[in-house]
Chains A and B, each alone.
Chain A
Amino acid sequence: MKFGVVTFPGANCDYDAYAAVKFVLGEQVEFLWHKSHDLMGSDVVILPGGFAYGDYLRAGAIARFSPIMDKVITFARSGGTVMGICNGFQVLTECGLLPGALIRNRHLRFSCKFVHLRVENNTARFSNACRVGEVLKIPIAHGEGSYYHFDDEVRKLEDNGQVVFRYVDVEGNVTDEANPNGSINNIAGIVNTEGNVLGMMPHPERAVENILGSEDGLRVLESVRSVVTRSNLAGKA
């Protein structure tokens, strides 16, 4: 199977994602240039973290109009697996593949630290290698990561089980202190209704080896691999 990592001008986690997939997960991976119109046969597309187009206007607002995004949107709408990490999550909300918006952290500071995430749903193709209620240690690095949506839309997300990861304390309790940015309901990561598009503010690709402080992020990549490999095998059978 093959991963594609989109490189926007101003992306700064594209190499992290590339290295995590290639050297730790051990799968094929290609960079996808923002001006390209070709996903190079990717089974999974990663929109990485960074400051695409300088985050001018709003984070992700300009990146979502880059040529490669037309292809990513078509790929996602036809069921393709897409994961947006940090800035990539912001791009996915701006282009409408995921609901809601990411707004300025409530304390206004850029926050770069390890946080704890509770797995809320392990039926998603991004979390099936985890147990429900399991706590993962994964870092965040953002200034605009406060998840926001209208109350009734948030209720729909919760009712549909679209909230995959939530900020918690080390014991797995949802507390205000454990919420690093003011996200509604401590939401850290969501999927679309079809379950093939994930957005999360924390960086799983930065937590793939113990020398980095945690290898919990690998579970996210392993989840994706197991589902996509299975569907590829089914397609060939």
Chain B
Amino acid sequence: MSDSKKATVYVRLKDGVLDPQGVTIHKALMQMGYGDFLAVRSGKFFELEIKGDSADIDRKIDEVCAKLLSNPVIENYTVEKPQ
């Protein structure tokens, strides 16, 4: 039996930060005939596995998101809490 917990972190570029990857994917969709798709923004997600007995899990997840997983100048993050 595992005593670990999992959390999922989504990192997105902030509004207004150019996402050339999303723009290129969108252009490809247009070329493929999917004219209904108005925009694409790309991002990243991370699955974290955390020791179940570690104290302050939420605080630690926030800490690693702010320190490493995202760059606050250009990105926002959201966390799906451990289950």
Chain A residues within 8 Å of B, Cβ to Cβ = 57-58, 61-62, 65, 93-94, 99-101, 103-108, 146, 148-150, 182
- Which size class do B's interface residues fall under? 10 to 19
Contact A148 B20 (CB under 8 A): no
Query: In the complex the two chains form, what is the Cα distance from A100 to B18 in whole Å?
Result: 14
- How far is A107 from B69 in the complex, measured between Cα atoms in Å? 25
CB distance from B53 to the nearest CB of A (A): 25
**What residues of A have a CB within 8 angstroms of the CB of B24 in the complex?**
108
Q: Distance in Å from the Cβ of B24 to the closest Cβ of chain A?
A: 6
From B18, B68, B71, B73, give the contact of A146 (CB < 8 A): B18
Q: How many A-B residue pairs have CB under 8 A?
A: 35
Contact B17 A104 (CB under 8 A): no
Q: Is B78 an interface residue (CB 8 A)?
A: no
Given A57-B68, A61-B68, is A108 in contact with B20 using a C-beta cutoff of 8 Å?
yes
> Is B4 an interface residue, CB under 8 A from the partner?
no
A63 to chain B: closest CB distance in Å? Answer: 12
Question: Are B21 and A103 in contact (CB-based, < 8 A)?
Answer: no
B71 with A182: CB separation less than 8 A:
no
Map CB proximity to A onto B14-42 as digits: 1 under 8 Å, 0 otherwise: 00011011001000000000000000000
Report how far A99 CA is from B21 CA in the complex, Å.
24
Q: How far is the CB of A125 from chain B (nearest CB, A)?
A: 25
| Set B20, B68, B71: member contacting A104, Cβ < 8 A | B20
Q: How far is the CB of B6 from chain A (nearest CB, A)?
A: 19
The reply to whether A104 and B74 contact each other, CB–CB distance below 8 Å, is: no
Q: Taking the nearest CB of chain A, how far is it from the CB of B3, in angstroms?
A: 28
